[in-house]
């Protein structure tokens, strides 16, 4: 099996490639990545010389390149996306180009050459939940509330339309917030851990009462592999981490793991369009494919903290870059 992984230098995509190499000893991987700010070659240093790995620089919006690589592969797994809500609010055009046009390019090529296609999406396409609302499931109506989630919702609909109209051999997965090693330090856990390592507080947007479900990235990667191999064509599968916590509760757990007190929490202005709660019912993938999360939240956080302590050479250059410092000031109103 030869798999084209798009966005494989990103956080989740790079973990999926490692999962393939760890669990499928005869599979080959082609990694197509445009190396935007979060697509970092340093995320794949440990696999760049792997005999079953090949990297190709380029964008999924490039029709000719996409067609050539899809024709060569047996299956495509799409992780390529612009993903950060705050960046989409400031400038939505990159999100429209990659998350909509780029996905359509992949769909068109997979239809043309009859290839298997799996699209990785997010729970944010469903909007948000009230405190007592049932968890998101595969039948929850779409209700995106920011430019990022709107573009991801559009790409999901394009996949479903291609399955119905053109016979695309496609599946979709929607997951909750991922965390773990290599998480880009604009995401809450990575900002929090690296802030504390540099003697700075954890930054909480608003009151911190917004609730999220958190999934360890290795669990997510194993779920995607299960869907690719055994998922029913045309179906959607939801993945959650069974770790529903408010942002401030999650922050306190990070403080506890790292040995800090709550005086290291700092509340800052909330962002526009902040969703109240995400939570996922993953009973379908559990019953059909036997997948469920294996990491507890505490285990996952301890593992992540230890990795960031041991890999300052990965995250410090990111935090010290001019682009990151500019984004941090715009986000929190203070210097990083």
- Hey, which residues are catalytic here? 123-124, 148
Phi/psi at 33 (5° precision): -145, 140
CA distance 159 to 202: 38
User: Is 318 within 8 Å of 264 (Cβ atoms)?
Assistant: no
**CA torsion sign, 99 to 65 to 9 to 171?**
positive
Sign of the alpha-carbon torsion through 293, 297, 302, 306: positive
Q: In Å, how far are 27, 52, 135 from 30, measured between CA atoms?
A: 10, 8, 35
From 227, 289, 244, 235, select the one nearest 19 (Cα to Cα): 227
Tally: H helices and E strands in the chain: 13, 12
Burial classification of residue 250, based on how many CB atoms lie within 10 Å of its CB (0-12 exposed, 13-18 middle, 19 or more buried): buried
**Which of 336, 332, 227 lies closest to 289 in space, CA to CA?**
227
Whether 31 and 60 have beta carbons less than 8 Å apart is answered as no
């Amino acid at each position: 099996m030869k798999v084209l992984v798009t966005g494989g230098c990103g956080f989740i995509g790079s973990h999926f490639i490692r999962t393939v190499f760890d669990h499928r000893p005869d599979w080959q991987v082609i990694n197509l990545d445009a190396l935007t700010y979060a697509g970092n070659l340093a995320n794949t240093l440990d696999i760049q010389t792997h005999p079953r790995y090949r990297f190709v620089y380029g964008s999924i919006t490039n029709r000719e390149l996409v067609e050539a690589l899809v024709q060569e592969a047996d299956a495509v797994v799409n992780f390529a996306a612009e993903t950060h809500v705050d960046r989409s609010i400031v400038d939505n055009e990159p999100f429209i180009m990659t998350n909509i046009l780029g996905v359509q390019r992949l769909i068109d090529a997979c239809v043309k050459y009859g290839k298997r296609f799996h699209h990785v999406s997010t729970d944010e396409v469903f909007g948000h939940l009230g405190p007592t609302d049932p968890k998101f499931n595969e039948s929850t109506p779409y209700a995106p509330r920011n430019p990022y989630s709107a573009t991801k919702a559009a790409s999901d609909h394009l996949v479903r339309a291609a399955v119905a109209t053109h016979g695309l051999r496609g599946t979709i997965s929607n997951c909750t917030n991922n965390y773990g090693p290599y998480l880009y330090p604009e995401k809450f856990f990575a900002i929090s851990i690296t802030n504390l390592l540099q003697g700075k507080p954890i930054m909480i947007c608003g009151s911190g009462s917004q609730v999220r479900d958190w999934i360890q990235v290795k669990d997510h990667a194993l779920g995607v592999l299960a869907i690719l191999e055994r998922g029913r064509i045309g179906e959607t599968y939801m993945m959650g981490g069974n770790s529903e916590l408010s942002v401030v509760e999650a922050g306190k757990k990070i403080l506890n793991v790292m040995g800090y007190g709550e005086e290291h929490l700092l509340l800052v202005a909330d962002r526009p369009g902040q969703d109240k709660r995400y939570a996922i019912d993953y009973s379908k993938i559990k019953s059909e494919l036997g997948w469920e999360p294996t990491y507890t939240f505490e285990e996952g956080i301890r593992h992540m903290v230890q990795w960031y302590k041991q890999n300052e050479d990965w995250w410090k250059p990111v935090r010290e870059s001019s682009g990151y410092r500019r984004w941090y000031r715009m986000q929190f109103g203070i210097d990083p």
